[in-house]
Amino acid sequence: MQFVFYTHSVVSDWNHGNAHFQRGIMRELITRGHQVIALEPADGWSRSNLLTEQGPFAIERFRKDFPELVPVTYDASFGHEAWMADSDVVIVHEWTDPDLVARIGRAKLNGGKFTLLFHDTHHRAVSSTQSISALHLEHFDGVLVFGEALRESYLRAGWGKRAFTWHEAADDRLFRPHPEIEPVSELVWIGNWGDEERSAEIQQFLIDPARELGLSGTVHGVRYPAGALAALADAGLRYEGWIANADVPKAFAQHRVTVHIPRRPYREHLPGIPTIRMFEALACGIPLVSAPWSDVEGLFRSGTDFLFARDGAEMRQHLRDVLHDVELAKALAGAGLETILARHTCRRRVDELFDILVACGNRHAFEGASTKEAAA
């Protein structure tokens, strides 16, 4: 089958964590023998910022790390209809320009044979409803959303014909333990500042506990203001800026524990949706302590796969326990990895995607499923 993905960027993950999951899904599809085209705007903000900050080196890193992915950039003169003409599936990410979303929908209306899906991995459906309600999704076959609470928002608003919950996951070909690497530091956090959506939480669940416990540690991410950088330095944490996603597993391996700090809009309005870094960290076999979020969908086993900290004091206690109890750390790392491999890999999400395609009436997906069942 031929898949076309409209992405904000597959090349750049600068302040753009959704690229992680999209890359993993595309890589899995290619491994299974499907054709995949990734389209992205030539002037997208993530790609532009990455080039400004890191230069052409970052693009070369992407090509080296993900040689099977061949992105195509588009501008105002791009012939989108021609690129979609022979496709079996077109998946449009929600950061795609609204006028282009409407144009793609018209291509479907005007005889497009492909299954057309909209993919939402953000909180704008509840934090900026006007921006989503203005999208023309009436010709899309379905909407993929990364949490049940978000699916319910789409259903209540009547956006799209149908909505499917399709959680993010870890690309376990990339995100895996590296037991050959010895930890050289205690705490690592990989996350962006986040438009003031978790500033207080970063202070409460990362900076203050690290300072009070005197931990050695590293922080990776972008868009940290001067005050935040000063606070990290005061806590004894090294700030090392952007990190190529392919380097993240080894960064986890060089540390003994990590933390998960969700953004406030998810915690308050979209329960059940962790950041993708939680999936990736657990896939790397590092013990994890999480700031509050509601796992209403039962994605993980709280207290077994990771530890929940309700406030800064609990975060401090949990970090101390993990760093001083080798058996606890080992048990958390093993259980978290077990759950990821059983439930939350890109391999499993591609299986789910094909079930969704069958539900949407995609003939090729249905034939593939029938062949698979017959072989079993």
CA 21 to chain centre: 5
Domains in the chain, ordered, with CATH? Answer: 2-169+345-375 (3.40.50.2000), 185-343 (3.40.50.2000)
DSSP for residue 203: I
Q: How far is CA 105 from the centre of its chain?
A: 25
List the pLDDT tens digit at each of the 376 positions of the chain: 999 999 999 999 999 999 999 999 999 999 999 999 999 999 999 999 999 999 999 999 999 999 999 899 999 999 999 999 999 999 999 999 999 999 999 999 999 999 999 999 988 888 888 888 889 999 999 999 999 999 999 999 999 989 999 999 999 999 999 999 999 999 999 999 977 889 999 999 999 999 999 999 999 999 999 999 999 999 999 999 999 999 999 999 999 999 999 999 888 888 999 999 999 999 999 999 999 999 999 999 999 999 999 999 999 999 999 999 999 999 999 999 999 999 999 999 999 999 999 999 998 988 766 545 544 4
Residue 42's region, left for phi above 0, alpha for psi from -120 to 50, else beta, is alpha
Cβ distance 166 to 144 under 8 Å?
A: yes
Q: Which two tokens stand for residue 126?
A: 């509840």
CB atoms within 10 A of CB 357: 23
